Structure 1
């Protein structure tokens, strides 16, 4: 029986609860860089939790295993930003092709 909860069209990767580095340009051209907790990642996108809102359509650079110099930086854009009851935001990104 198909799991109705999991409708993604691409493979999910096991990065849950791993730290990743994200960076983006916010209001007033301010540059933000944060190490955040990865909630979910697939070939199509990523979801992470962060203490602040990131505006929809903002371009975000994502780096896995950022302590390795040769680690690749992926570019994505914000699809949704949902404030949780505890005050943090779940940010959903889609990777640029």
Structure 2
């Protein structure tokens, strides 16, 4: 098997947690250096990344701090950056965040 095939197989085998409809707070600095924050919904998370949904999109490469906000979640903050973003329907975007 080629290295890229092994990486794809590893990605598929990595543990995924079903976190459908788990609220997260996303924080980042915009192009003017101003702190921004939105509430989004986590769809799922793996050891390498996270899929979230929100009504707006963020530019690819934007560095973020992600915090789960449900009562069951710990106060752990995750560093991430926007790797992909695409429109899901008329009112929402799916964003894949690469965990750092």
Using the size of structure 2 for normalisation, the TM-score is: 0.76
Is 1:53 the counterpart of 2:35? The answer is: no
Matching residue of 1:38:
42
Aligned length: 89
Matching residue of 1:76:
80
Give the strand-richer structure, 1 or 2.
2
Matching residue of 1:3:
none
Q: CA deviation at 1:56?
A: 0.5
Is 1:15 the counterpart of 2:19? The answer is: yes
Q: Is the radius of gyration larger for structure 1 or structure 2?
A: 2
Q: CA deviation at 1:84?
A: 2.4
Give the helix-richer structure, 1 or 2.
2
Q: CA deviation at 1:77?
A: 0.8
Is 1:86 the counterpart of 2:90? The answer is: yes
Distance 1:67 1:60 in 2: 22
3-state secondary structure, aligned to 2:56? coil
3-state secondary structure, aligned to 2:12? coil
Using the size of structure 1 for normalisation, the TM-score is: 0.78
3-state secondary structure, aligned to 1:14? strand
Distance 2:43 2:87 in 1: 15
